[in-house]
Structure 1
Amino acid sequence: MEQELVKGPVWHGWPDQRWTLSRVKTVIGRRFHLTYTLQRARKLLIRNGYSCQVPARRALERDQAAVTGW
């Protein structure tokens, strides 16, 4: 499974570099022909040393120059 995750989401056909539980679950199904729930996929990842992380979101209208000057 780790080898599949190292290849990245783009290699598996998604448009960005974010792994989600849904994507991991899909890769497990495609590669290993197993059906996992989201909770089971999460437990598998945690058991193998992965952690859940939420990307920081920034406002589209953010003015970086104003933030730096503040």
Structure 2
Amino acid sequence: MARIEAGETNNAVAAALRVSERSVERWRRQRREGGAAGVVSKGSPGRPMLSEGQIARLERVGACSARA
């Protein structure tokens, strides 16, 4: 956001961050409409790769020891 706030063009910001100009345009709009909270990542829209059971199993194993 510092580059955008410094007045850099969409093209310059996109090139520096290696993203599309469209992404920079979207960030500017989100910032304008929602302030700083508007550009916070909302995470992946996809479904989780692991099931609830698999996540629980990993948490149990991780709670044991490094050898587990």
Which protein is bigger by CA-based radius of gyration?
Answer: 2
| Structure that is richer in helix per residue | 2
* Higher relative contact order structure (alpha carbons within 8 Å, sequence separation ≥ 6): 1
Work out whether the TM-score is over 0.5.
Answer: no
TM-score (norm 1): 0.31
